[in-house]
Amino acid sequence: MLIVADENIPLLDAFFGDIGEIRRVTGRTLSREQVQDADILLVRSVTRVNRELLEGSRVRFVGTATIGTDHIDLEWLQARGIGFAAAPGCNATSVAEYVLSVVSLFAERRGLDDWTSLTVGIVGVGNVGGQLAQCLERLGFEVRLCDPPRQEREPGAELPFVSLAEALECDVVTLHTPLTRHQPHATWHMVSDPELALIGADQLLINGGRGEVVDSEALMRRLEQADAPLVALDVWEHEPGIRPDLVDKVWLATPHIAGYSLEGKMQGTEMVYRALCQFLGLPIRKKAGQFLPEPAVSKVSFTSSAEEDEAIRTALRVCYDPRRDDARLRLAMRGNPEQRAVAFDRLRRDYPVRRECSSLKIQLKGTSKSLQDGFRALGCKLKI
């Protein structure tokens, strides 16, 4: 059995080595010829999987080790009877930690002692938005949730949903919707001139979903105005050929790596492995956890002198500080368009190991219950 797989999927040999022969390919440039004789195709978000790629091939199962599926023509796969699996929720914790870290930097920039005084509007309350909301609420933030499809599906739900306009009133607005083009709730360019006009200079807009959810022409126009909001973009229209002038204008610019914790990537591989085993009728013998290495930083201690917010933010940034990715992306924006696109993908391919807060043991001596609860909200292991 031939498995054609994106070389950026971690642990390919460990998970799939005894299922078939693996041919590693560059996901961005995968061609019909490379996939023609494959039985199984494993991709990440950069490969468009559709009729143009697969017509006439032997492929009978496609797996994407990602949450998003906007790069896959699901209808065509279904019509052809080709098996499919994605990895819902695999890197939701990683994205939530990215957002928390960005919010912590924003609070510092605003000179806030208490970062939980910020209100946070979450647009798209699925695996990522839901996990983020839960964590923020446990930390003491006021959170507003906007998810019209869920609001319709769950009319009697306990969760109070708000409109997009109401979410846009929050100090921080963070986008976690999939990219969709079908009405009534299409997200393509969901945030354009009218929506951007609703957020002002003391607010922060984060996009951790898909680049095309925000109209980048409109965003450029808004960022040229004196009362423009701060913007943190992890995802961009037209990746990898993103606009350097937009990178210049946004406050925090990262190369679509919010979900790039090692745990998140490895879980993505495991989920596709499990689905493939089911598809082929094979026993499931492996788990991502068995391959997780020891983290570089495993323990952090705080004493009774620790200031609560400060301690939480320190631990968060031990795991992930987006400023390093921001600096690297800005450097990568030198050169001509082709060089910039290559540099964008290289940053993602050669991404350093990043671990989630759950990899961190927090030692607390004489600290308050609320600080302990804060670390629990982050998923850290506690030693009290």
Ligand X SMILES: O=C(O)C(=O)[C@H](O)COP(=O)(O)O
Ligand Y SMILES: NC(=O)C1=CN([C@@H]2O[C@H](COP(=O)(O)OP(=O)(O)OC[C@H]3O[C@@H](n4cnc5c(N)ncnc54)[C@H](O)[C@@H]3O)[C@@H](O)[C@H]2O)C=CC1
Q: Which residues bind ligand Y (CB under 6 A)?
A: 67-68, 88-89, 91-92, 95, 123-129, 146-150, 176-180, 185, 187, 190, 208-210, 234-235, 256, 258-259
46 binds, among ligand Y, ligand X, none (CB under 5 to 8 A by kind): ligand X
**Does 8 engage in binding with ligand X (CB under 6 A)?**
yes
260 is in an annotated binding site: yes
**256: annotated active-site residue:** yes
Measured CA to CA, the distance from residue 42 to residue 27 in angstroms comes to 9
Pick the binder of ligand X from 63, 240, 259, 295 (CB under 6 A): 259
Smallest gap from residue 356 Cβ to ligand X (A): 14
Looking at residues 82 to 141 of the shown chain, list those that interact with ligand X (rule: CB under 6 A): 91
Handedness of CA 240, 243, 247, 252 (dihedral sign): negative
Q: Which is nearer to ligand X, 45 or 359 (CB)?
A: 45
Closest CA to 100 of 267, 321, 251: 321
171 is in an annotated binding site: no
Smallest gap from residue 311 Cβ to ligand Y (A): 27
Measured CA to CA, the distance from residue 62 to residue 1 in angstroms comes to 14
Q: Which is nearer to ligand X, 115 or 273 (CB)?
A: 273
**Cβ-based neighbour number of residue 119 at 10 Å:** 17
Handedness of CA 10, 11, 13, 16 (dihedral sign): negative
Q: Which is nearer to ligand X, 243 or 256 (CB)?
A: 256
From the list 144, 150, 210, 354, the catalytic residue is 210
From the list 195, 239, 263, 270, the catalytic residue is 239
**Does 46 engage in binding with ligand X (CB under 6 A)?**
yes
* One-character DSSP codes across 134-202: HHHHHHT-EEEEE-HHHHHH-TT-SS-B--HHHHTTSSEEEE-PPP---TTS--TT-BSHHHHHT--TT
Distances (CA, A) of 208 to 94, 128, 234: 11, 9, 5
351 is in an annotated binding site: no
**71: annotated active-site residue:** no
Measured CA to CA, the distance from residue 113 to residue 133 in angstroms comes to 21
Tokens, residue 224? 């040229």
Smallest gap from residue 321 Cβ to ligand Y (A): 16
Handedness of CA 160, 163, 164, 165 (dihedral sign): negative
47 is in an annotated binding site: no
Looking at residues 184 to 203 of the shown chain, list those that interact with ligand X (rule: CB under 6 A): none
- Could you give the 3-state DSSP secondary structure of residue 233? strand
**Does 68 engage in binding with ligand X (CB under 6 A)?**
yes
Show which residues are catalytic.
Answer: 210, 239, 256
Q: Please report, in range form, the residues annotated as the binding site.
A: 45, 66, 147, 177, 234, 259-260
